[in-house]
Amino acid sequence: NGVKWTQPLGQFINNEYVSSSGTDTIPTINPVTEEEICAPQAATQEDVNKAVKAARAAFHAPSWKRITGTERAVFLNKLADLIEEHKEVLATIETVDTGRPYLQNLHLSISIATALFRYYAGWADKIHGQTMDCGPDKLAYTIKTPVGVVGQIIPWNVNMPSFCAKIAPALACGNTIVLKLAEAAPLVGLYMCQLIKQAGFPPGVINVLNGSGRDIGTAIASHMDIDKISFTGSTATGKEILRLAASNLKSVTLETGGKSPAVIFDDADLDNAVLWTHIGIMTNAGQICYGNSRIFVQEGIYANFLEKFRGQVEKVSVLGDPWEQTTFQGPQVSRVQYERVLEFIQSGKDEGAKVYMGGQPVSLDGKGFFVEPTVFTDVKPHMNIYREEIFGPCVVIVPFHTEKEVLEMANDTIYG
């Protein structure tokens, strides 16, 4: 779209972009053209140690430790302002790196990002402890202190919102951060770092690394001088993070996978249900952790629903170039994800489900990791496509009779 920018490729430590201590790079691929966009540097264990050291020093420095919540809020609000100012560039970078349609990035991701910063800025001077009446001879009170140096690992699917949802509350409460970007789509995070500096955050408060989950994610999760880890990603990786966190018993919060049910009763407003369940699974090419990838429809309206759902997909799920205003669905973010989704689709066919619509890969001028919006019916609960998170534009639609039955079916999952 003609937007030009300078893309940082290094690690962000102590408010400076610095070269990684190693020489590896992790090229990031444009999922529409399949071409390399650029090759950001890969962080190493040494970089993690440097970042943690910077974060630890910043945590104790008077410029962060001795300022008030009200002052922290000023930085957070300033960052929100800067994101507003830079929104076209940020949305552009997101589009190039993830293939998500430009207008969705511009209108949704940016407003979520700024709202998150402003919301948590408001909390910064409202972190209350308690006093408890233990009788006249004792003064007992609690204060809520920051955790310390927090490690944060974000996914590639909702880049800006993830980045902001992680750092905003941590900063509001006075922590310092070492954040690992998703190597499949690190560009917008790397760009954001200069805004962090501009917003006035002291050096070392927020440090950002780009590296592989296997190396850098592991290093962060097991680091002996990180006090807490927050991870968003797959359940399998989440389990690994939890295991590694036992190194120093760091606190753990995880936001992992889902196989969320949407339940449509006979008396539902059918058109409204179709509208929302379509958005619920097909947005972002199905790459949302809370996507309603299982839709349960009461038998009385089942046939009708299917037809209307097909119509909605055909009307709304326009696959195409993310720069086009009419595009609803871009490609999957990477070849790995693309192949994974196709494997699931194949397993659905192999296990005997019916492909009600879709099921095929698609390309734009012979390129691109596009997958058709896909609907499976005649699905049985033992099938992979029913049990496992596909993370693509694939939904299973299943009929039910009674409320009791559907609750059992909906709850029959390791996810929630």
Partner 1 sequence: MALTTELKTPITGPFQQPIGLFINNEWVESIDKKTIEVINPTTEEVICSVAEATEKDVDIAVAAARKAFEGEWRTTTPQQRGIYMFKLTELVEKNKELLAAVESLDNGKSISMARGDVGAVIGCLRYYAGWADKIEGKTIDINPETFTYTRHEPIGVCAQIIPWNFPLLMLAWKIAPALATGNTVVLKTAEQTPLSGLVFANLIKEAGFPAGVLNIISGLGRVAGAALSSHMDVDKIAFTGSTPVGRTIMKAAAASNLKKVTLELGGKSPNVVFDDADIEQAISWVNFGIYFNHGQCCCAGSRIYVQEGIYDKFVEAFKKRAQANSVGDPFDENTFQGPQVSQLQYDRIMGYIDEGKKEGAKLETGGGRHGDKGYFIQPTIFSDVTHDMKIMQEEIFGPVCTIAKFSTEEEVIHLGNNSSYGLAAAVHTQDLNTAIRVSNALRAGTVWVNSYNLLSHQMPFGGYKESGIGRELGEAALANYTQNKSVSIRLGGAVF
* Residue bearing tokens 């690994």: 240
Nearer to partner 1, 139 or 224 (CB): 139
Instruction: Based on the residue annotation, tell me whether 255 is a catalytic residue of this protein.
Output: yes
Nearer to partner 1, 83 or 285 (CB): 83
Minimum distance of partner 1 from residue 76's CB (angstroms): 10
Nearer to partner 1, 137 or 365 (CB): 137
* Residue bearing tokens 């440090």: 207
Degrees, nearest 5: CA angle 413-221-340: 45
Minimum distance of partner 1 from residue 406's CB (angstroms): 17
Nearer to partner 1, 118 or 308 (CB): 118
Cα(63)–Cα(65) distance, integer angstroms: 6
Contact (Cβ atoms closer than 8 angstroms) between residue 189 and residue 210? yes
Nearer to partner 1, 74 or 362 (CB): 74
Contact (Cβ atoms closer than 8 angstroms) between residue 378 and residue 398? no
Cα(216)–Cα(42) distance, integer angstroms: 9
Nearer to partner 1, 29 or 73 (CB): 73
Helices (H), 227-283: 235-245, 270-282
Give the sign of the dihedral formed by CA 211, CA 215, CA 219, CA 222.
positive
Give the pairing type, strands 394-400 and 294-298.
parallel
Minimum distance of partner 1 from residue 317's CB (angstroms): 30
Degrees, nearest 5: CA angle 17-84-154: 50
Contact (Cβ atoms closer than 8 angstroms) between residue 203 and residue 57? no
The contact set with partner 1 (CB under 8 A) reads: 69-70, 73, 77, 115, 118-119, 121-126, 128, 136, 139
Q: Which of 34, 84, 88, 255 is catalytic?
A: 255
The amino acid sitting at 205 is: V
Nearer to partner 1, 81 or 378 (CB): 81
Cα(395)–Cα(401) distance, integer angstroms: 20
Mapping DSSP to helix (H, G, I), strand (E, B) and coil, where does residue 131 land? strand
Which H or E element spans position 264? strand 261-264
Minimum distance of partner 1 from residue 195's CB (angstroms): 19
* Cα 386 off chain centre by: 22
* Residue bearing tokens 């001088």: 225
Minimum distance of partner 1 from residue 232's CB (angstroms): 23
The amino acid sitting at 132 is: M
Minimum distance of partner 1 from residue 108's CB (angstroms): 15
* Range list of β-strands (E), 170-217: 176-181, 206-210
What CA–CA distances, in Å, run from 82 to 77, 198, 313?
A: 9, 8, 37
Nearer to partner 1, 67 or 362 (CB): 67
Minimum distance of partner 1 from residue 139's CB (angstroms): 5
Residues whose CB is less than 8 angstroms from the CB of residue 93 and which lie 6 or more positions away in sequence, other chains included: 5, 7, 187, 188, 191
Minimum distance of partner 1 from residue 389's CB (angstroms): 29
Catalytic residues: 255
